[in-house]
Amino acid sequence: MKIDGNAIRPGMVIEHQGRLWRATRIQHTQPGKGGAYLQVEMKDIRDGTKLNERFRSSENVERVRLEQTDYQFLYAEGDMYTFMDIESYEQISLSAEAVGEDQVPFLQDGMKVLIESHEGEPIGVELPGTVVLEVVEADAVVKGQTASSSYKPAKLSNGVKILVPPHIGIGTRIVVNTFDTTYVERAKD
């Protein structure tokens, strides 16, 4: 499906230069001279290379339609991750590279995910927007430091290090954004 160059949004998959690219970041630029354009940072779906490209509104790009299927994460074995189709119970195994190196730590047993396929080949895994994890390491709160909006480093139960507000201590369960690995809020459970 053809779309205008300025209609690209983060997360969209487009076909450009004969390859499939996922837009990761966009910036609309309107210089003093000449027409406006969209600066798009893209990542190749197959090999992970990055590309910065400018698209003007007069240009057309091919938006790729991906088949999205609900799967459930079952287990990890070495560098392979096994998922089960919720409807057909068919299982597939994907490498850490196919899942996304930055997303692997957030996989939890029984987690429901969307697996995106292009022409029958799985090309990516979309995790839920947030996950609940426990803080296993955190610096102690320094008295009087609560007035400023300072954050302190903390290590989560999955090994990922993030910044959390000063009132979060060891053993606290927190909600973490899986897209950009940031603290959202204290878990309500």
Return the CATH fold of 67-126: OB fold (Dihydrolipoamide Acetyltransferase, E2P) (2.40.50)
Higher pLDDT, 91 or 66: 91
Question: Which pLDDT does position 111 carry in this prediction?
Answer: 92
User: Angle at the Cα of 99 (from 98 to 105), degrees rounded to 5?
Assistant: 140
Return the CATH fold of 2-63: SH3 type barrels. (2.30.30)
User: pLDDT at residue 34 above 90?
Assistant: no
User: pLDDT at residue 123 above 60?
Assistant: yes
CA 189/CA 155 separation, integer angstroms: 20
Q: How confident is the model at residue 96 (pLDDT cuts 50, 70, 90)?
A: confident
Task: Work out the average pLDDT over 83-105.
Answer: 87
Q: Give the residue among 164, 167, 162, 166 at the shortest CA–CA distance from 180.
A: 162
Segments making up each domain of the chain, as ranges: 2-63, 67-126, 130-186
User: pLDDT at residue 101 above 80?
Assistant: no
Sign of the alpha-carbon dihedral angle for 130, 133, 139, 145: positive
Token readout for 48 is: 């992970």
Q: 15: which strand partners?
A: 20, 62
Question: Which pLDDT does position 142 carry in this prediction?
Answer: 64
pTM value surpassing 0.85: no
Class of the CATH-defined domain 130-186: mainly beta
Higher pLDDT, 141 or 37: 37
**Average pLDDT along the chain:** 86
Same fold, 2-63 and 67-126: no
Task: Work out the average pLDDT over 11-15.
Answer: 84
Q: How confident is the model at residue 144 (pLDDT cuts 50, 70, 90)?
A: low
User: pLDDT at residue 107 above 80?
Assistant: yes
